[in-house]
Structure 1
Amino acid sequence: MRTSNFASPQELNLAFAERIARLLNEGIATRGKASLVVSGGRTPQGMFAQLSQQDLDWSKVVVSLADERWVDSSDESSNEKMVREHLLQNKAQAATFIGLKNPAQRAQDGVDDCVAAIAQMPLPIDVLILGMGEDGHTASLFPCSAQISQGLDLNYPKPYLAVQPTTAPHWRMSLSLAALLNSRHVFLHLTGEGKKAVLDKALAGTDEFEMPIRAVLNRADVELVWAP
């Protein structure tokens, strides 16, 4: 794992946004389009605001989510709502967004529509930005869920699976480990000493079912982007 440390979240947000923009520009120049898959939560919001103002041909960028709570897109806990409010603004309004929540009442019944939607995205993913929970989950690959074996199975046949964590509300839709690994550039974006301690614990152990972030760290060239 490579590490980029910054003195403050504000310094991180600008530098990371500029780095992502360069990578997306490279993807556009090389392949005509570029793909960006992001995570939810509060951590990336400031960086998204900076990224939304970067100069690139956003009309050639496809944005989607690593995971989503199975709630309406107007719900305060919706990752789509957060991304629309913080990233798909300013210049980034021109990007194509592929949401995960669809009309299916149950997440389990919405998997196939999500699989069809990802077919619109340039693959491999150009830039994947992951977060990490206090329990070591990433995307919605929760150690507590009954679906974690499927999610970490590299032979699982679909890029998405429905997940029900027992330690957090809502069914979720999540990219599988294999789908996450199908990325050219993988970043783990963390802030605060608490998350750094969780990461240190993850790096010190080997059980991927205990802390699923280990499954990504063990198989991908991950760059940690961190600020206290």
Structure 2
Amino acid sequence: MPHLSVFATREALMQAASDRLARALQRGLNTRHHACAALSGGATPEPAYALLAQAKLDWPRVTFALVDERFVHAKDDASNEKMLRRALAPALEAGAKLMPMFSTDGAPAEVAARADNLYSPLHIDVALMGMGGDAHTASWFPGHARAAFESERTVIAVHAPLAAGSADRLTLTKHAVRRADEVLVLIHGEEKRARLDAALAEGADAAPIAALFEDPEKQPEVLWAA
């Protein structure tokens, strides 16, 4: 079973996620004088990011990276970057940096190669992952995750025909996420908890989020509230 932390309310869940992100960033600042968090998109974590942006951290020494991105312009409502810039605005205004994945010039493979060059040097202190109803995480979708599982790169392009917002995606690979010092999985609702339990039994080919739990020595913490 995963390391599961249960919270009484969704508000408490978001505060806990924010606190853990801030703690990991501060740890990075203390040890390396710079820190990096890789953050997922979607509606679920945005309140946690807004809380994080209010933390008293040395923001000019903090970098935010994306776990994945749709192949859309940063002004598009489907863009994870757009959501992160909105939620993290106070931290960005105080000097934190947000490193985009998407760029406007080129096909997905070319854009992914540029993002890989940017992202490969990052030391990720903490990665916050989510989970979709199909048990995808990042842009690792059932039937379309093998490249993300096998690649030694940090960022690759993937094509998942049923993915919401854009079938073409950019994503951190499993190799990249496993390099993170700490991995958090943020979910809420009874259906998501049941789906995660089922995913761990199904395995990563059918339920890609299970790939996060394959290393018994380095298990993510699951943060959950009903």
TM range (shorter): over 0.9
- Cα deviations by residue, 1:8-65 (Å, 9 ceiling, x for unpaired): 1111112221222122111101111011000000000111111110111111111010
Aligned residue in 2 for 1:131: 130
- Cα deviations by residue, 1:140-170 (Å, 9 ceiling, x for unpaired): 011132xx222111xx232111111121233
- Cα deviations by residue, 1:163-183 (Å, 9 ceiling, x for unpaired): 111212330001111111111
SS of the equivalent of 1:180 reads: helix
Aligned residue in 2 for 1:90: 90
Q: Are 2:131 and 1:162 equivalent residues in the alignment?
A: no
TM-score normalised to structure 2 length: 0.93
Gaps of 5+ in 1: none
Please show how residues 75-86 of structure 1 align to structure 2 within 5 Å.
Answer: 75-86=76-87
Q: Does the 8 Å contact 1:144/1:166 carry over to 2?
A: no
TM-score normalised to structure 1 length: 0.92
| Alpha-carbon distance in 1 for matches of 2:200, 2:15 | 27
Q: CA deviation at 1:2?
A: 1.1
Identical aligned pairs, as a percentage?
34
Aligned residue in 1 for 2:182: 185
| Alpha-carbon distance in 2 for matches of 1:135, 1:222 | 19
Structure 1 residue identity aligned to 2:146: S
| Alpha-carbon distance in 1 for matches of 2:27, 2:159 | 37
Stretches (4+) displaced over 6 A: none
SS of the equivalent of 2:125 reads: strand
Q: Are 2:218 and 1:217 equivalent residues in the alignment?
A: no
Aligned residue in 2 for 1:63: 64
Aligned residue in 2 for 1:49: 50
SS of the equivalent of 1:158 reads: coil
Aligned residue in 2 for 1:143: 142
SS of the equivalent of 2:204 reads: coil
Gaps of 5+ in 2: none
| Alpha-carbon distance in 1 for matches of 2:156, 2:92 | 28
Structure 2 residue identity aligned to 1:172: R
Structure 2 residue identity aligned to 1:50: L
Structure 1 residue identity aligned to 2:159: Q
SS of the equivalent of 1:226 reads: strand
Aligned residue in 2 for 1:104: 105
Q: Does the 8 Å contact 2:26/2:57 carry over to 1?
A: yes
Structure 2 residue identity aligned to 1:215: A
| Alpha-carbon distance in 1 for matches of 2:106, 2:190 | 39
1:201 maps to which of 194, 198, 201: 198
Aligned residue in 2 for 1:173: 170
Number of aligned residue pairs: 220
Q: Does the 8 Å contact 2:17/2:186 carry over to 1?
A: no
